[in-house]
Amino acid sequence: MNILLLGSGGRECAIATSIVASPKCEKLYIAPGNGGTAALGENVALDINDGEAVAAWAKKNDCSLVVIGPEAPLVAGVADCVRDAGIDCFGPGADGARMEGSKDFSKSIMMKYDLPTAAYKTCTNLEEALAYLREQGAPIVVKADGLAAGKGVTVAQTLQEAEDAVRECFDGRFGEAGATVVIEECMKGPECSILAFTDGETVKPMAPSQDHKRAYENDEGPNTGGMGVYSPVPIVTDDEYATMIDVMERTVAGLKAEGIDYRGCLYGGFMLTETGPRLLEFNARFGDPETQVVLPRLETDLVDVMVATANKKLADIELAWKPEWAVSVVLASDGYPGDYKKGFEITGIDEANALEGVHVYHAGTKLEDGKFYTNGGRVLNVTALGESFQAARDRAYEACDLINWDGKFMRRDIGARALRGRDAWEI
Ligand code: AMP
Ligand code: GLY
């Protein structure tokens, strides 16, 4: 079959790698794609937030499955247009995507279905927000309600910081997305994510994963889209994993009770607190970079899983996983997440990929005359599988050291805290 995948990050490169490994896939199109996906299928120029255009393009090119990677097209209802055109779609419609598109909506679902999370209040004007902040005190968390490209959350250590964050929201820093503000109790503990395939009835969870958000070693410096990730998470107990799965199942049951027919990947972001795992957020899609450590461990044909998800037949699928651990290190452009230069030739990708268990996924690259050039802040995700956490980590760094360009930058401590154990986290 022909398949159209929407998106252009490392996540989409990992999804594309698994899709083209399936004998079911005849032709893969990626819109708009990146240098890595250009080597796996055909990149196409398409406005991925325009549902009618995506559905028409998919129809014209005989695609029988559309897979939606990022949140913006999901929130814009692209999945609804694709399904209305009679084409299978992996990704929730606009109603289900509100789980990510509105913090107020997802908190209301958490409350209604008694899912463990932080106490909160939703405010629609400055006076109400300031009064609540002063009543609660710091530390406290301020979140713009809508999509804000990962920049809408402030974990405020002081009341002043919290008040500034609220003022910025109501002053229009995030446009409509900040016109409503969610103010939340500040929780403590390691973070852990669970991705789950769901067709709105059946839930098939994937192994937990843990991202590293800060730019510099020892979790210092500015927040980024993620500098490295691993899966499973050695510090998660069996009880915590069971609780997180139970929460994901109760969430999907709650969505069904709300009349939402959610088909795709649901991402639960948790904090492992002293009183057990509690929800930080939901995303309506695969995580980036979590996907880059979860999918290489999947043995089941991803196209089968996606088609079953789209057709409410997930109960018929048995997921099989490789027993290995996966560690992924992000190679970034010097200066990221601030200003950086692009256009440098990248060498050593083939050598790194030739190592056993290594997958080099492209995030910000472009392919020109058979050569790869840097084309973004986060350039490559170097994932390695290994029979132990340490083995996977050593192999990932061995592969990273084979790849070079002018201004390559990475954190050398991905997974270092997990190796030290739970005590490495202050609770
Ligand atoms: P979110 O997009 O809601 O997951 O928030 C982004 C990041 O902010 C999370 O990954 C956490 O590091 C942090 N965060 C969000 N909510 C809270 C909270 N209630 N307590 C502490 N940290 C939080
Ligand atoms: N890694 C966090 C996310 O995908 O939103």
Atom of ligand 2 nearest to the CA of 289: 1
What is the spatial order of strands in the sheet that 276-283 belongs to? Answer: 203-205, 191-198, 264-273, 276-283
Q: 176 falls in which pLDDT band (50, 70, 90)?
A: confident
Q: Helix 103-112 and helix 94-101: axis angle, to 10°? A: 100
What atom in ligand 2 is closest to the CA of residue 225? 1
- R_g of the chain, CA atoms, integer Å: 21
CATH number of 2-94: 3.40.50.20
279 lines ligand 1 (CB under 6 A): no
Q: Pull the structure tokens for residue 351.
A: 């050598």
Check if the beta carbon of residue 379 is closer than 8 Å to that of residue 346.
yes
Is residue 174 scored above 90 in pLDDT? no
| For the CA of 11, the nearest atom of ligand 2 | 4
The topology (CATH level 3) of 325-424 is Glycinamide Ribonucleotide Synthetase; Chain A, domain 4 (3.90.600)
Ligand 2 site, residue 287, Cβ cutoff 6 A: yes
User: Nearest 10 degrees: CA dihedral of 300, 392, 402, 407?
Assistant: 100
Task: Please tell me the distance between residue 268's alpha carbon and the centre of ligand 2 in angstroms.
Answer: 10
- 3-state SS class at 295: helix
Q: What is the pLDDT of residues 58-83, one digit of tens each?
A: 999 999 999 999 999 999 999 999 99
| Fold annotation for 191-316 | D-amino Acid Aminotransferase; Chain A, domain 1 (3.30.470)
Q: Which ligand is nearest to the CA of 211?
A: 2
Pocket test for ligand 2, best of 288, 381, 414 (most atoms within 8 A of CB): 288
Pair type for strands 140-144 and 153-156: antiparallel
Asked if the peptide bond before residue 190 counts as cis, ω within 30 degrees of 0, the response is no
pLDDT digits (tens, 9 = 90+) for 232-257: 998 999 999 999 999 999 999 999 99
Mutate to test the pocket of ligand 1, among 100, 107, 153 (most ligand atoms within 8 A of CB): 153
Q: What is the structure's pLDDT at 424?
A: 81
Q: What is the arithmetic mean of pLDDT over 32-57?
A: 97
* Helix, coil or strand: residue 350: helix
Of the residues 136, 155, 183, which should be mutated to test ligand 1's pocket, given the most ligand atoms within 8 Å of the CB?
155
Q: Is the pLDDT of residue 3 over 60?
A: yes
Max CA separation in the chain (angstroms): 61
Contact indicator for 302, 19 with CB cutoff of 8 Å:
yes
Among 16, 13, 27, 75, which residue's Cα sits nearest to residue 48?
75
* DSSP code, position 131: H
List, as one string, the DSSP characters of 14-50. HHHHHHHTSTT-SEEEEEE--HHHHTTSEE----TT-
Cβ contact 263:203 at 8 Å: no
3-state helix, strand, coil in the chain (%, to 5): 35, 30, 35
- What are the backbone angles phi and psi of residue 64, rounded to the nearest 5°? -105, 0
Q: Is the CB of 253 under 6 A from ligand 1?
A: no
* Tally of helices (H runs) and strands (E runs) in the chain: 15, 23
pTM of the model: 0.95
| Identity of the amino acid at 218 | N
Distances from the Cα of 125 to the Cα of 122, 387, 406, angstroms: 10, 53, 48
For a ligand 1 pocket test, name from 281, 426, 427 the mutation site with the most ligand atoms within 8 angstroms of its C-beta. Answer: 281
State the pLDDT at residue 390.
96
> Is 80's C-beta closer than 6 angstroms to any atom of ligand 2?
no
Residue 281 Cβ < 6 Å to ligand 1: yes
Residue 427 has a pLDDT of 55
Q: Give yes or no for residue 9 CB within 6 A of ligand 2.
A: no
Residue 148: pLDDT band (50, 70, 90) is confident
Beta carbons within 10 angstroms of residue 394's beta carbon: 14
User: Using a 6 Å cutoff on CB, does residue 187 contact ligand 1?
Assistant: yes
**For 244-297, how does the pLDDT look when each residue is reduced to its tens digit (9 = 90+)?**
999 999 999 999 999 999 999 999 999 999 999 999 999 999 999 999 999 999
Residue 290 beta carbon below 6 angstroms from any ligand 2 atom: yes
* Residue type (1 letter), 29: Y
From the CB of 139, is ligand 1 less than 6 Å away? no
Domain spans in the chain, listed from the N-terminal domain onward: 2-94, 125-179, 191-316, 325-424
Looking at CATH, the fold of the domain delimited by 125-179 is given as Dna Ligase; domain 1 (3.30.1490)
Tell me how far the alpha carbon of residue 352 is from its chain's centroid: 24
Residue 398 has pLDDT above 60, yes or no: yes
Q: Residue 225: pLDDT band by 50, 70, 90 thresholds?
A: confident
Q: What pLDDT score does 150 carry?
A: 73
Atom of ligand 2 at shortest range from CA of 213: 1
Ligand having the closest approach to the CA of 150: 1
Looking at the DSSP bridge assignments, the partners of residue 5 are 30, 67
Residue 233, class by beta-carbon neighbours within 10 Å (0-12 exposed, 13-18 middle, 19+ buried)?
buried
Which of 151 and 185 is assigned the larger pLDDT? 185
pLDDT (0 to 100) of residue 365:
96
Share of the chain above pLDDT 70, in %: 100
